[in-house]
Structure 1
Amino acid sequence: MTATIRDIAKAAGVSVATVSKVLNDYSTVSRATREKVLALVAEMQFRPNEAARSLVGRRSMTIGILLTSGLSNPFFVHLLGGIDEALKERGYDLIYLAQLSAHPEYNFVQHCRSRNVEGVLAFGFQLGELDADKLVASGIPTLFIDLNLTGKRAGYISSDNKEAVEGTVRYLHGLGHRRIANIAGLPGSYVGERRLAGFHEAMDAAGLTVHPENIVVGDFTQETGYRGMRQLLALPQRPTAVVCGSDKSAIGALQAAREAGVAVPDELSIVGFDDIDEARVVHPSLTTVRQDMPALGRRAIELLDRLIVEPEAPPPAVILPTQLIVRETTGPAPREH
């Protein structure tokens, strides 16, 4: 039986796209991978059909990235590190798909096709910021990060945001905290809503009342964390612990507590989310939920690559685990006077 390009890819432990790159002499494949693939081509006596090779040669080997938020967010920086690593392994190029949505005739699907991208990686936005249903229906292989959309050739990946916050509340409750507040993430965003849902469910499971004044709307930034904490500290009965939507928000909250003369963690415990580099170097160091951002990026490209090379593959819906990292901003609830 004649070996196929998929047989070569499976034996080499690489994608079909990478084998195609080697056969078409692309320079973006590592030397070790190239030598491994070529050795298997010889060993398995693979003879690529010239017509098929000409079709392979017309592949753009390009993935478009759609990011509506700025790249200054540390989450995106670490995420892109993993994306870049996985792209190099598979021989893809990456282009940034700038949105021109202010233009009355703008059509994002047509924009993707005009740039000849083989797939789209979309993240950092709310559902209302993009006509996502049309993108899913277009058949363009699409992988959403932190937005739970699926279609025939579209899927998503995210961390387990809801369970992460539930675990955080259980941890604080175990330390004796009863007045636990939340500086929430961006309303309407998938991760913001999942984290807020986790907070409510864990508080309910612990038999704790969620007072409306203890939920502050934020947007994951340091500024809203700072303002939110000032608002919480002004309450007649302030909380003894605060769960923040991000590390940036938690750092802002920590700054507000310091300015108000509130000792962390003796009088107030603070928990963040992400485990960015700053979480380890602020004083006191930040207790936070760690999500493996580079791994999230690498896995996203793996899933998108499969959507591209295997049109009948089932749409992925992948949730990655998180880990609570306990540092210096959390401690036992203060004794009531």
Structure 2
Amino acid sequence: MAKGPTVYHVAERAGVSIATVSFTFRQPEKVKASTRELVLAAAKELGYVPSASARGLARGRTGALGLFAYDFLLDPADSIRGRDPQGHDPAQADSERQNEDLRLFPLYVDEVQRGVELECWRRGQALLVGGGNPENNEAVLSDIAGRVDGLAVFPRSVPSEALARIAGRIPVVEVSESALHPELDHVTVDNASGTRAITEHLVTEHGMKRLMFLGGMPSSDNDERLAAFLAALRDAGLTPAREPDYPCGGEQAVAEVIAAVCRENAVPDAIVCATDQDALVVLDALAAAGVKVPMDVAVTGFDGIAAGRVVRPSLTTVRQPMEQMGRAMVELLLDRLDHPDKPPASLRLPVRVVLRESCGCRPD
């Protein structure tokens, strides 16, 4: 295979030094616009592509960050795209499907990822995004980690042992779950104040006394939310209407809990859900049982995903600054690269209660 053009060829073609070529690609703001145009034109003519590995040798960095995302929230069938046997346009089918079920996108993970992407773009950092499955996630993680300066990860997306191994080589920042890996940098939110505020709103503004907490997945974030819910009830002189529940089995298990509550005629005044996705399942299950929201029972969530605005009744929730969380992950990674010996940082961002129809309020 013939060797491709190098930085030396570009410098010669543009009539500049190799340092100027390097700066054009690494720190373009340090090169005059006219000179930068000459270099880029020469590179285009020659078919030159700057080597990340070469940049790494020169300055000890690749100029790229990595993001390892969830895979388990996806339906395996969703990953298969193409024209179906009847010849239908997949783009049209995808659009119709989005209209039928706006819960598919964007979710929490999508909004956080967008924040990572936007901040990398703003700072001139390349971003490598990947995700695996139970059979290959460690291999994919290692491959990404070998190509980047730092890695952002979602909680519980990879085994702790693999994460520790990667963190020994490059900076790693985790979103949420600060109790899971306290040795890492973290970006999380004020779970406690948000849940307390929404619980107090139900008790104080709506006069509700029988409240239950329901979450589809145990996590340190959800544990914080549960603790705040119980503390708010205790301060109001109340006890939960039902034992807090983290049913195993995902959405189906959450729906089964609600079905059981309805069969037992034990519907409380309000159901405080750990996440918006849990709350949307609860709304469906209540509707299937003929229980009206908010007339018979109030329902609240936590996250602030887009689906909560369009579902009917619209969902009262605690809005996380998800885009800002993604941006903050990039900031922490770059700061860690510049200050590798600093103690682990845990950035806790504020949240906001959003009052809508599902608790009996008008949308804000």
2:295 alignment counterpart: 266
CA contact (8 A) 2:212 2:271 kept: yes
Distance change (3 Å), C-alpha of 1:134 and 1:58: closer
2:24 alignment counterpart: 25
Structure-2 separation of matches of 1:173 and 1:54: 57
Alignment of 1:4-19 (within 5 A): none
Distance change (3 Å), C-alpha of 1:147 and 1:237: closer
Q: Does 1:283 align with 2:306?
A: no
2:93 alignment counterpart: none
Distance change (3 Å), C-alpha of 1:159 and 1:252: same
* Per-residue deviation, 1:229: 2.1
2:244 alignment counterpart: 215
2:235 alignment counterpart: 205
Q: Does 1:116 align with 2:147?
A: yes
Alignment of 1:1-337 (within 5 A): 24-26=23-25, 34-35=28-29, 37-38=30-31, 56-70=58-72, 72=74, 74-96=107-129, 98=131, 115-125=146-156, 129-131=159-161, 134-135=164-165, 138-148=168-178, 149-151=181-183, 154-174=184-204, 175-187=206-218, 189-211=219-241, 213-218=242-247, 222-331=251-360
CA contact (8 A) 1:227 1:253 kept: no
SS at match of 2:152: strand
Aligned residues: 289
* Per-residue deviation, 1:322: 0.6
CA contact (8 A) 1:21 1:91 kept: no
Q: Report the AA paired with residue 244 of structure 2.
A: I
Structure 2: state its 5+ residue gaps.
1-18, 33-54, 75-103
Distance change (3 Å), C-alpha of 1:295 and 1:109: closer
Structure-2 separation of matches of 1:260 and 1:300: 42
CA contact (8 A) 2:128 2:144 kept: no
Structure-1 separation of matches of 2:248 and 2:356: 24
* Per-residue deviation, 1:55: 5.0
* Per-residue deviation, 1:243: 0.5
1:45 alignment counterpart: none
* Per-residue deviation, 1:66: 2.4
Q: Report the AA paired with residue 94 of structure 1.
A: L
Structure-2 separation of matches of 1:234 and 1:301: 48
Structure-2 separation of matches of 1:223 and 1:203: 28
Distance change (3 Å), C-alpha of 1:137 and 1:255: closer
SS at match of 1:95: strand
**TM-score, structure 1 as length reference:** 0.74
Q: Deviations over 1:286-326 (max 9, x none)?
A: 11111111111111111111111222334211111111100
Q: CA RMSD in A?
A: 3.4
Q: Report the AA paired with residue 87 of structure 1.
A: C
More deviation, 272-281/258-267: 258-267
Structure-2 separation of matches of 1:143 and 1:22: 32
Structure-2 separation of matches of 1:219 and 1:92: 40
Q: Deviations over 1:67-113 (max 9, x none)?
A: 3444647111111111100111222222245558758xx68996566
CA contact (8 A) 1:220 1:248 kept: no
**TM-score, structure 2 as length reference:** 0.69
* Per-residue deviation, 1:231: 2.5
* Per-residue deviation, 1:271: 0.3
CA contact (8 A) 2:154 2:175 kept: yes
Distance change (3 Å), C-alpha of 1:135 and 1:219: farther
